[in-house]
């Protein structure tokens, strides 16, 4: 059961609900968001159902939810969550938001050339990482805070919010002090300490799907963030590992409509990390728009042959412009503008 408190309900009303739950041998998990407080009730279902929750002071409604992911489920919140990032609405049924930029920030020139070009072609959010999760410990690991400073400058210059990955719970405060959106990458989807930490800071979080994660596991990861009080979560499908080796991953396009039915959170697709090859990015991006995603996130590099990370999947600036035109046409066909 989820107990949704009224907007004006105070601490005392929340404490009374918790006390009531405890009196019947159950427990309450409080998630205090920006707009409202919600309480997840765990314990004996029968006993919880017997309480006339909606008659208790400060309670707006009580919603029975059977899934282990409760707060993020559609049952709990039938309407879509829309996340406003510096005026860009993510999750609105009539918008398709394109996030683009380099996989990693490598230099000022590389970042600024890319940001200017993608902005001009119609991207609304910039990507660029300061910390990179690399398979080899000897590969380029990112420029760290210097990259965040460059992103901060690029945001001002091109009037674009930016998203950056955070790998380590110890860096959450640092990344959160610069970025408009924090990203938890595929390798960290099950890093519960990191999920809790990003759940305790105020910036929206992009949560990538673990490459071996089921939708249930992915939604439970989102629940970790939500439960800590951060209700602004964007799910990103980025391909999963299957028996197929022809592409870097297999884009699970089915996940998009399924997630939309199971949860109320915005869903994006990353066609770059899914396909892993430049020539697959545009077709997968069009598929994402057609299947009902709320946006895409795309790797772009002015000189991919010199890229320190993921050059083979980065679009050239002119490829990106072409892709934007094609994706916009598909988005318009399904009632969304880019
Ligand atoms: C990325 O977006 O740069 C990234 C590392 O992606 P993933 O976590 O999906 O591999
Ligand atoms: Mn990458």
Q: Is residue 117 within 8 Å of residue 317, measured between CB atoms?
A: yes
Q: Does 10 map to a domain?
A: yes
Q: Does 203 map to a domain?
A: yes
pLDDT, one tens digit per residue, over 218-257 is 999 999 999 999 999 999 999 999 999 999 999 999 999 9
For residues 43 and 279, which has the higher predicted lDDT (pLDDT)?
Answer: 279
Query: Pick from 115, 103, 197: which is nearest to 142 by CA?
Result: 103
Q: How confident is the model at residue 34 (pLDDT cuts 50, 70, 90)?
A: confident
Rounded to whole angstroms, how far apart are CA atoms 2 and 184?
A: 26
User: What burial class does residue 43 get, using C-beta atoms within 10 Å of its C-beta: 0-12 exposed, 13-18 middle, 19+ buried?
Assistant: middle
Query: In this structure, are 48 and 112 located in the same domain?
Result: no
What residues sit around ligand 2, an ion, with C-beta below 5 angstroms?
A: 103, 310
Q: Residue 92 C-alpha to ligand 1 middle, in angstroms? A: 24
Q: What 3-state DSSP class applies to 334? A: coil
Q: Determine the pLDDT at residue 14.
A: 96
Query: In this structure, are 50 and 95 located in the same domain?
Result: no
The stretch 55-72 carries a mean pLDDT of 92
Query: In this structure, are 217 and 263 located in the same domain?
Result: yes
Query: In this structure, are 37 and 169 located in the same domain?
Result: no
- Considering its fold, how many domains does the chain have in total? 2
Q: What 3-state DSSP class applies to 254? A: coil
Q: Determine the pLDDT at residue 67.
A: 87
Query: In this structure, are 103 and 48 located in the same domain?
Result: no
Q: Does 158 map to a domain?
A: yes
* Distance set, CA 243 to CA 186, 209, 248, 250, 273 (Å): 18, 18, 11, 9, 17
Q: Where are the alpha helices (DSSP H) in the chain?
A: 11-23, 45-50, 108-121, 145-158, 172-178, 192-199, 215-227, 255-262, 271-275, 278-291, 317-333
Q: Does 77 map to a domain?
A: no
pLDDT at 261 over 90: yes
Q: Does 125 map to a domain?
A: yes
Query: In this structure, are 99 and 242 located in the same domain?
Result: yes
Query: In this structure, are 36 and 113 located in the same domain?
Result: no
Q: Which residue range forms the structural domain that includes residue 14?
A: 2-63
Residues whose CB falls within 8 Å of the CB of residue 9, separated by 6 or more in sequence, listed in order? 37, 57, 58, 59, 60
Q: How confident is the model at residue 283 (pLDDT cuts 50, 70, 90)?
A: very high
Q: Does 280 map to a domain?
A: yes
Query: In this structure, are 96 and 52 located in the same domain?
Result: no
Rounded to whole angstroms, how far apart are CA atoms 38 and 61?
A: 10
- 185 Cβ inside 6 Å of ligand 1: yes
pLDDT, one tens digit per residue, over 121-147 is 999 999 999 999 999 999 999 999 999
C-alpha of 310 from chain center: 21
Across the chain, mean pLDDT equals: 96
Rounded to whole angstroms, how far apart are CA atoms 199 and 195?
A: 6
Rounded to 5°, angle at Cα 39 from 37 and 41: 175
Q: What 3-state DSSP class applies to 38? A: strand
Locate tokens 């629940």: which residue? 223
pLDDT at 65 over 90: no
Q: For residue 267, give the CATH number of its domain.
A: 3.20.20.70
Q: Does 240 map to a domain?
A: yes
Query: In this structure, are 203 and 257 located in the same domain?
Result: yes
Q: Residue 200 C-alpha to ligand 1 middle, in angstroms? A: 22
Structure tokens given for 124: 């609304």
Which residue has a Cα nearest atom 5 of ligand 1?
185
Which residue has a Cα nearest atom 1 of ligand 1?
103
Query: In this structure, are 162 and 20 located in the same domain?
Result: no
Q: Residue 7 C-alpha to ligand 2 middle, in angstroms? A: 40
Q: Is residue 58 within 8 Å of residue 9, measured between CB atoms?
A: yes
Q: For residue 45, give the CATH number of its domain.
A: 3.30.70.1140
- 238 Cβ inside 6 Å of ligand 1: yes
Q: Does 230 map to a domain?
A: yes
Query: Pick from 127, 196, 120: which is nearest to 161 by CA?
Result: 127
For residues 104 and 68, which has the higher predicted lDDT (pLDDT)?
Answer: 104
Tell me whether strands 205-208 and 181-184 are parallel, antiparallel or unpaired. Answer: parallel
Rounded to whole angstroms, how far apart are CA atoms 70 and 234?
A: 16
Query: In this structure, are 127 and 206 located in the same domain?
Result: yes
Query: In this structure, are 24 and 121 located in the same domain?
Result: no
pLDDT, one tens digit per residue, over 77-101 is 889 999 999 999 999 999 999 999 9
Rounded to 5°, angle at Cα 159 from 131 and 286: 75
């Amino acid at each position: 059961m989820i107990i949704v408190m009224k907007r004006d309900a105070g601490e005392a009303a929340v404490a009374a609900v918790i006390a009531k739950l405890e009196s019947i041998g159950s427990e309450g998990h409080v998630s205090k968001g920006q707009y409202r407080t919600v309480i997840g009730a765990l314990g004996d279902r029968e006993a919880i159902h017997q309480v006339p929750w909606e008659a208790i002071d400060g309670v707006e409604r009580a919603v029975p939810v059977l899934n282990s992911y409760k707060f993020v489920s559609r049952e709990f919140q039938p309407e879509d969550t829309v996340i406003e990032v510096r005026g860009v609405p993510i999750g609105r049924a009539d918008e398709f938001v394109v996030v683009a930029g380099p996989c990693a920030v490598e230099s000022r020139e590389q970042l600024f050339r890319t940001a200017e070009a993608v902005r001009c072609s119609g991207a609304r959010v910039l990507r660029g990482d300061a910390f990179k999760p690399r398979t080899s410990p000897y590969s380029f690991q990112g420029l760290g805070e210097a990259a965040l400073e460059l992103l901060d400058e690029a945001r001002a210059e091109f009037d674009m919010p930016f998203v950056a990955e955070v790998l380590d719970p110890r860096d959450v405060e640092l990344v959160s002090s610069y970025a408009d959106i924090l990203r938890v990458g595929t390798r960290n989807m099950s890093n519960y300490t990191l999920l809790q930490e990003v759940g305790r800071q105020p910036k929206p979080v992009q949560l990538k799907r673990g490459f071996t994660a089921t939708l249930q596991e992915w939604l439970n990861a989102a629940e970790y963030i939500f439960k800590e009080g951060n209700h602004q979560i964007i799910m990103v499908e980025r391909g999963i590992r299957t028996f197929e080796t022809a592409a870097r991953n297999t884009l699970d396009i089915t996940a998009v409509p399924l997630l939309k039915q199971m949860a109320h959170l915005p869903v994006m697709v990353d066609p770059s990390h899914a396909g892993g090859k430049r020539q697959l990015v545009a077709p997968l991006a069009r598929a994402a728009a057609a299947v009902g995603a709320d946006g895409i996130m795309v790797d772009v590099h002015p000189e991919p042959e010199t890229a320190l990370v993921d050059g083979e999947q980065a679009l050239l600036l002119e490829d990106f412009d072409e892709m934007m035109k094609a994706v916009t046409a598909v988005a318009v066909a399904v009632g969304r503008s880019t």
